[in-house]
């Protein structure tokens, strides 16, 4: 499993615009092969991060179109150049739905 972690800054009070835009991409997320999940995390009043988990490194590379589309959509609300890093996930636990 692989993770793309993207830290970004946003204009104070505009975090809801970032998450609202993310909601418009759900159909594209569902059709992105190998994408496991995406979370948008509010770190404080002007910084957040996006955590995108993929099955393989190749899937993560194929998902770059979704990533670039998401960044383009939130560009009016962000203040810092997004800083993306990619990692291999060594361990992951997930609660199974009953």
Residue 96 resides in a domain: no
Query: What phi, psi does 13 have (nearest 5°)?
Result: 85, 0
Q: What is the CATH number of the domain that holds 68?
A: 3.30.70.100
Q: Is 75 inside a domain boundary?
A: yes
Q: Which pLDDT score is estimated for 25?
A: 93
pTM value is: 0.89
Q: Which domain holds residue 31?
A: 2-88
- How far is it, in rounded angstroms, from Cα 14 to Cα 5? 20
Do the strands 47-54 and 35-42 form a parallel or antiparallel pair, or are they unpaired? Answer: antiparallel
pLDDT score, position 94: 86
pLDDT in tens, 24-83: 999 999 999 999 999 999 999 999 999 999 999 999 999 998 988 888 899 899 998 789
- Asked if pLDDT for residue 98 goes beyond 80, the answer is no
Answer whether residue 98 is part of any domain: no
- Within a domain: residue 97? no
């Amino acid at each position: 499993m692989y993770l793309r972690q993207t830290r970004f800054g946003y204009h104070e009070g505009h975090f809801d615009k970032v998450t609202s835009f993310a909601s418009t991409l759900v159909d594209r997320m569902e059709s992105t092969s190998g994408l496991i999940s995406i979370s948008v995390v509010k770190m404080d009043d002007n910084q957040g991060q996006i955590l995108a988990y993929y099955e393989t490194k190749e899937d993560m590379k194929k998902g770059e179109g979704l990533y670039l589309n998401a960044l383009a959509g939130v560009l009016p609300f962000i203040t810092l150049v997004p800083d993306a890093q990619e990692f291999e996930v060594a361990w992951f636990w997930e609660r199974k739905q009953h």
